[in-house]
A and B are shown apart, each in its own frame.
Chain A
Amino acid sequence: MRDAIAKREIRAREVTEKFMGQIEKWNPRLNAYITLNEQALEQAKQIDQRLSRNEKVGALAGVPVAIKDLLCTKGLRTTAASKILHNFVPPFSATVVERLEAAGAINLGKTNLDEFAMGSSSETSHFGISKNPWNLEYVPGGSSGGSAAAVAGGLACAAVGTDTGGSIRQPSSFCGLVGVKPTYGRVSRYGIVAYASSLDQAGPMARTVEDAALVLETIAGRDERDSTTSRENVPQWSQKISTNLKGLKVGLPKEYYSDQVHPDTRERVDQAVEAVRAAGAETVEVSLSLTDLAVSIYYLVATSEASSNLARYDGVRFGYRSDFSKRPAEDIAEFYCRTRGEGFGSEVKRRIILGTYALSSGYYDAYYKKACQVRRLMREQFLEVFSRCQILMGPVCVSPAFKIGGRIADPLKMYLNDIFTTSANLVGIPGMSVPAGFSKAGLPIGVQLLAAHFQEQHLFNAGKAIEEAMDIKELPHVLQ
Chain B
Amino acid sequence: MSYNDWESVIGLEIHAQLLTDSKMFSPDSTHFGAADNEHTHPVSLGMPGALPVLNAKAVEFSAMTGLALNCKIRQRSVFARKNYFYPDLPKGYQISQYDEPLCEHGHVDYFLNGEIRRVGITRAHMEEDAGKSVHQGEATLINLNRAGVPLLEIVSEPDMRTPEEAAEYARTVRKILRYLNVCDGNLEEGSLRCDCNVSVRKKGEAKFGTKVELKNINSFRFVEKALEYEIKRQIDCIETGEKIKQETRLYDSTKNRTFTMRSKEDAHDYRYFPDPDLLPVVVEENWLAILKAKLPELPLARAGRFQADYQLPVYDAFVLTTEKALADYFEAVAKDSSNPKAASNWVMGEVLRELNEHKIEIEKCPIAAVDLARLIKMIDGKEISGKMAKDIFAEMWQSGSSPVHIVKAKGLSQVTDTSTIEKIVDDVMVASQQAVADYRRGKTKLFGFFVGQVMKVSKGQASPELVNQILTTKLKG
* Residue A317 CB within 8 A of the other chain: yes
Known: A91-B42, A197-B277, A361-B271. A227 touches B91 (CB 8 A): no
Within 8 A of A (CB), among B24-46: 42, 45-46
Which chain B residue has the least Cβ–Cβ distance from A316? B87
* Residue A94 CB within 8 A of the other chain: yes
Chain B residues near A81 (CB-CB < 8 A): none
Chain B residues near A317 (CB-CB < 8 A): 45-46, 90, 142
Total contacts A to B, CB within 8 angstroms? 101
Interchain CB contact under 8 A, B48 and A359: no
Known: A90-B47, A190-B50, A311-B85. A228 touches B277 (CB 8 A): yes
* Residue A373 CB within 8 A of the other chain: no
Choose from A91, A194, A308 the contact partner of B273 (Cβ within 8 Å).
A308
Within 8 A of A (CB), among B424-465: none
* Residue A439 CB within 8 A of the other chain: no
Within 8 A of B (CB), among A85-116: 85, 88, 90-92, 94
**Measured CA separation A359–B92 after assembly (Å):** 15
Within 8 A of B (CB), among A128-161: none
Interchain CB contact under 8 A, A227 and B52: yes
Interchain CB contact under 8 A, A92 and B42: yes
Interchain CB contact under 8 A, B81 and A308: yes
Chain A residues near B279 (CB-CB < 8 A): 227-228
B402 to chain A, nearest CB (A): 52
**Measured CA separation A452–B132 after assembly (Å):** 47
**Measured CA separation A320–B85 after assembly (Å):** 17
**Measured CA separation A389–B47 after assembly (Å):** 42
A200 to chain B, nearest CB (A): 9
Interchain CB contact under 8 A, B85 and A304: no
Which chain B residue has the least Cβ–Cβ distance from A189? B51
* Residue A19 CB within 8 A of the other chain: no
* Residue A323 CB within 8 A of the other chain: no
A330 to chain B, nearest CB (A): 13
**Measured CA separation A318–B47 after assembly (Å):** 8
Interchain CB contact under 8 A, A312 and B92: yes
Choose from B42, B53, B83, B91 the contact partner of A359 (Cβ within 8 Å).
B83
**Measured CA separation A421–B271 after assembly (Å):** 28
B89 to chain A, nearest CB (A): 9
A335 to chain B, nearest CB (A): 8
Interchain CB contact under 8 A, B271 and A227: no
Within 8 A of B (CB), among A241-283: none
A321 to chain B, nearest CB (A): 12
* Residue A203 CB within 8 A of the other chain: no
Within 8 A of B (CB), among A287-320: 304-305, 307-308, 310-312, 314, 316-318
Interchain CB contact under 8 A, B269 and A316: no
Chain A residues near B271 (CB-CB < 8 A): 307-308, 356, 359-361, 364
B96 to chain A, nearest CB (A): 13
A 41-60 to B, binary, CB cutoff 8 A, 1 in contact else 0: 00000000000000000000
Chain A residues near B244 (CB-CB < 8 A): none
Chain A residues near B85 (CB-CB < 8 A): 311, 314, 332, 336
* Residue A224 CB within 8 A of the other chain: yes
Interchain CB contact under 8 A, A198 and B49: no
* Residue A225 CB within 8 A of the other chain: yes
**Measured CA separation A368–B271 after assembly (Å):** 10
Which chain B residue has the least Cβ–Cβ distance from A194? B49
Number of interface residues of A (CB under 8 A): 43
Chain A residues near B241 (CB-CB < 8 A): none
B123 to chain A, nearest CB (A): 20
* Residue A12 CB within 8 A of the other chain: no
* Residue A191 CB within 8 A of the other chain: yes
* Residue B222 CB within 8 A of the other chain: no
A438 to chain B, nearest CB (A): 37
Choose from B42, B92, B142, B276 the contact partner of A197 (Cβ within 8 Å).
B276
Number of interface residues of B (CB under 8 A): 29
Within 8 A of B (CB), among A311-345: 311-312, 314, 316-318, 332, 336
**Measured CA separation A332–B273 after assembly (Å):** 25
**Measured CA separation A193–B48 after assembly (Å):** 5
**Measured CA separation A78–B47 after assembly (Å):** 12
Choose from A92, A228, A361 the contact partner of B269 (Cβ within 8 Å).
A361
A369 to chain B, nearest CB (A): 9
Within 8 A of A (CB), among B65-106: 81, 83, 85-87, 90-93
**Measured CA separation A367–B453 after assembly (Å):** 94
Chain A residues near B269 (CB-CB < 8 A): 360-361
Interchain CB contact under 8 A, B92 and A308: yes
* Residue B119 CB within 8 A of the other chain: no
Chain B residues near A304 (CB-CB < 8 A): 273
* Residue A80 CB within 8 A of the other chain: yes
* Residue A380 CB within 8 A of the other chain: no
**Measured CA separation A319–B278 after assembly (Å):** 26
Q: Which of B47, B93, B269 has the most CB of A within 10 A?
A: B47
* Residue B54 CB within 8 A of the other chain: yes
A341 to chain B, nearest CB (A): 13
A149 to chain B, nearest CB (A): 23
Chain A residues near B92 (CB-CB < 8 A): 308, 310-312, 314
Chain A residues near B49 (CB-CB < 8 A): 71-72, 90, 94, 189-194
Interchain CB contact under 8 A, A227 and B278: yes
**Measured CA separation A194–B276 after assembly (Å):** 11
Q: Which of B53, B54, B278 has the most CB of A within 10 A?
A: B53
* Residue A38 CB within 8 A of the other chain: no
**Measured CA separation A308–B87 after assembly (Å):** 15
Interchain CB contact under 8 A, B278 and A312: no
* Residue A384 CB within 8 A of the other chain: no
* Residue A226 CB within 8 A of the other chain: yes
Known: A316-B142, A368-B273. A88 touches B48 (CB 8 A): yes
B 269-283 to A, binary, CB cutoff 8 A, 1 in contact else 0: 101110011110000
Known: A311-B93, A312-B91. A85 touches B48 (CB 8 A): yes
A 173-207 to B, binary, CB cutoff 8 A, 1 in contact else 0: 00000000000000001111110111000000000
Chain A residues near B142 (CB-CB < 8 A): 316-317
Interchain CB contact under 8 A, B53 and A225: yes
Interchain CB contact under 8 A, B47 and A91: yes
**Measured CA separation A193–B87 after assembly (Å):** 20
Choose from A80, A193, A308 the contact partner of B83 (Cβ within 8 Å).
A308
A368 to chain B, nearest CB (A): 6
A348 to chain B, nearest CB (A): 14
Known: A197-B276, A317-B45. A312 touches B90 (CB 8 A): yes
Known: A72-B49, A189-B49. A311 touches B42 (CB 8 A): no
B392 to chain A, nearest CB (A): 59
Chain B residues near A88 (CB-CB < 8 A): 48
Known: A91-B42, A359-B273. A312 touches B87 (CB 8 A): no
**Measured CA separation A190–B87 after assembly (Å):** 24
Q: Which of A189, A311, A332 has the most CB of B within 10 A?
A: A311
**Measured CA separation A196–B273 after assembly (Å):** 13
Chain B residues near A312 (CB-CB < 8 A): 46, 48, 90-92
Which chain A residue has the least Cβ–Cβ distance from B278? A227
Pairs A–B under 8 Å by Cβ, sample size 6 = A90-B47, A305-B273, A308-B83, A308-B93, A332-B85, A361-B269
The 8 A-B pairs of least Cβ separation, nearest first, read A311-B92, A198-B276, A197-B276, A359-B271, A191-B49, A193-B48, A312-B46, A312-B91
With A227-B52, A359-B272 known, 15 other A-B pairs at CB within 8 A are A90-B48, A92-B42, A193-B48, A193-B49, A194-B48, A197-B276, A225-B53, A308-B93, A312-B46, A312-B92, A316-B87, A318-B45, A359-B83, A361-B271, A364-B271
